[in-house]
Amino acid sequence: MKRKMFLKDLGQKVICKMKKNLENTEVPKVVVVGHVDHGKSSFIGRFLFDVGEVQKEKFDELKKASERRGVEFEFAFLLDALQDERDQGITIDTTRIFFKTKLRKYVFIDAPGHKEFIRNMITGASSADIAILIVDVDEGIKQQTKKHAYLLKLLGIEQIITLFNKMDKVNYSEEKYTQTKFDLNKYLAEIGIKCHSSIPISSKLGDNIVSLSKNMKWYSGPLFVNVLDNFKVSETKISEVIRFPVQDIYKIGEKRVVVGRIESGRISKGTKLIFLPSNERVDVKTIEVWPKAKKEYVIGDCIGITLSEQIFVDKGNMASDTIFPPKLTNRFESIVFWLSEKKISSKKKYFMKINTGEYEVSVNRIKRVIDTENLNIKKNNTVYKNDVCELVIHSSQLIPMDDYSFNKSTARFCLLDNEEIVAGGIIDLKNYPDQREVKELPKRNITPENYSVSEIDRSMKFNHRPGIIWLTGLSGSGKSTIAKNVEKKLFKRNLNVFSLDGDNLRIGLNKNLAFSPEDRTENIRRTAEVAKLFTQAGFIVLVSLISPYRSERKKARDIRSELFREIYIKASVEVCSKRDVKGLYAKAVSGEIKNFTGISSPYEEPEKPDLVINTSIEDVDESVNKLEEYILNEFSF
């Protein structure tokens, strides 16, 4: 009796506190997932009936129809709109149902559980604010239960409500509930999902859904309806980081109206925005909303804006705040759920849709394929339908995007092959740098001086042209060894030569830089600028730098492209690990060193290097002689 009164008082307090805000509350989208026949549709049907969202006439009609067909009535019949669903007993499409409790409005998304219909499950879950995972306590945790939980993680949902259904089939056994709950929570913890609440229910009889169960006096937790109404959505969604993907541009009279949906943050008149990929900064001049505009718009609002300046804006561009803009990149890692019978091909061009943008991309590399049953890494990288895999994806264009851990709403994408959706996934940018060009500050009182001795004068004196010989490759590939020996041999030939080594630069000029993608980018930029100064002094400068990103090596080349030569010192991770001259690979494998290239951070091989020196098959003398001869041919008069 005390337990019943406590829950009743709690419910009344919550209602009083939240009822005033019902009209202004965002409508949360609730997805229900789980193994086939574990009772998702039955649960939703029962819940809608218990909260008074089903008309009695509809209920009576379906009950009589079931009797005529000689089948037992199920609450799932309230949802199953397709005849073949009733015949097969499975849900094959995503059903959306608008409903309300005493506290707020919702949208239910009933996602299919059969493995052949996981594509629709992803479609439903991708936009969800609240996720519910249903488990049949009698059958226990199945493969699809684990796969659906992993997919929720993949889609950026990290907190779920778990319902343990069909308690009536196990005679309301507390022991059975506790064991199933323990097993599920163990798996959820392994994949990084938190369980918000666990509730034992019976969809068939309505236990603990809206009404307190008389059959489970051992359960002292809340009812499902109370958990749902108390689930805090707005706190996790509202952010000062603005994301406004451009859906279209309308010309209305003299106005150019940029329209879209606010995915995060707040926008009002005067808000400062940056548009990507153009990197242009403007202010919001007006907000165009019919019939009457408010002062401020937030997440979920669809609005039109005019800008303080007439900059070029196109569909698929991303507007953001100026403090935390998304990254611009043409290469990124991703966690992908493969939906097609077709095999992944690195030679094929796929169509990528992200936010409102559409891009042509290719799969650069399959990093690994994950078995969702046990979370083990599969031995081969063959990807089959319904597999989860980690891919490196390349685009010919720069794409504005967020890491899913930073902003889940803008970090989801899908891949299409001939207009067929073949994959869905999330963006992982932790290993790749931002390629956005930061606009330079105005140069005040700075006037560059012309040199008294020109670069041509120096070249004539030393009898060779200056040059940047950029040696790139993994740690342990032999860059420094080759550079030192070549420097010595060229010096003996009276060439003006100097070697810039990555480790030496990090002791001085770059000592304040770590090994994050952004710091690596700055390390390369500074080194390239120093190399440029050496060429102006007439030097052939040998640069030994891992420089793992193609985009940043291209920027280094662009500083003095006519003098830049990219030399790929080729050696596999396995070969370099065996050498491990500095003991770095052993530390990286043990986790002592983070962001180590080739182990926990990527290395992008040059696509068209000026010279390849393969130290896996060449000895030091061969490699040194090869580079020396190349430099003499390229730069000597």
Give the CATH number, domain containing residue 186: 3.40.50.300
Within a domain: 10? yes
Range of the domain at 282: 243-320
Looking only at the bridges linking them, the beta strands covering 467-472 and 388-401 are unpaired
Position 380 scores a pLDDT of: 82
Query: Which ranges of the chain have pLDDT less than 70?
Result: 1-26, 55-68, 70-96, 109-128, 154-156, 233-239, 372-375, 438-444
Position 300 scores a pLDDT of: 81
Residues 471 and 382 reside in one and the same domain: no
Residues 268 and 207 reside in one and the same domain: no
Of 177, 206, 230, the residue at which a domain comes to its end is 230
Residues 23 and 113 reside in one and the same domain: yes
Residues 339 and 428 reside in one and the same domain: yes
Within a domain: 447? no
- Domain containing 402 — which CATH number? 2.40.30.10
Residues 311 and 345 reside in one and the same domain: no
Residue in 547, 577, 601, 623 annotated catalytic:
547
Position 508 scores a pLDDT of: 92
* Closest of 261, 229, 236, 268 to residue 247, by C-alpha: 261
Residues 184 and 281 reside in one and the same domain: no
For residue range 62-117, what is the model confidence (pLDDT) as tens digits? 666 666 676 666 666 666 533 333 344 434 344 567 778 888 888 776 555 444 44
Rg of the Cα trace of the chain? Answer: 31
Calculate helix-pair angle for 479-492, 620-635, nearest 10 degrees: 50
Position 462 scores a pLDDT of: 87
Spatial distance between the Cα atoms of 174 and 22, rounded to a whole number of angstroms: 36
Spatial distance between the Cα atoms of 543 and 546, rounded to a whole number of angstroms: 10
Position 441 scores a pLDDT of: 54
Within a domain: 411? yes
Of 320, 339, 374, the residue at which a domain comes to its end is 320
Residues in Cβ contact with 166 at an 8 Å cutoff, skipping those fewer than 6 apart: 38, 39, 136, 137, 138, 202, 203, 204
Within a domain: 599? yes
**Beta pairing partners, 389:** 336, 369
Within a domain: 250? yes
CA dihedral 35, 41, 46, 48 (to 10 degrees): 130
Task: Provide the number of structural domains found in the chain.
Answer: 4
Within a domain: 441? no
Residues 76 and 210 reside in one and the same domain: yes
Cα distances from 631 to residues 466, 480, 537, in angstroms, run: 10, 16, 18
Within a domain: 363? yes
Residues 471 and 584 reside in one and the same domain: yes
Residues in Cβ contact with 53 at an 8 Å cutoff, skipping those fewer than 6 apart: 99, 100
Position 265 scores a pLDDT of: 92
Our CA angle for 247, 251, 252, nearest 5°, is: 120
Q: Is 547 a catalytic residue?
A: yes
Instruction: Give yes or no for a contact between 479 and 473, defined as CB atoms under 8 angstroms apart.
Output: yes
Of 435, 470, 503, the residue at which a domain comes to its end is 435
Residues 360 and 285 reside in one and the same domain: no
Spatial distance between the Cα atoms of 248 and 259, rounded to a whole number of angstroms: 5
Residues 58 and 106 reside in one and the same domain: yes
Within a domain: 76? yes
Residues 538 and 411 reside in one and the same domain: no
Residues 512 and 550 reside in one and the same domain: yes
Q: In the chain, what's the furthest Cα-to-Cα distance?
A: 103
Handedness of CA 302, 307, 312, 317 (dihedral sign): negative
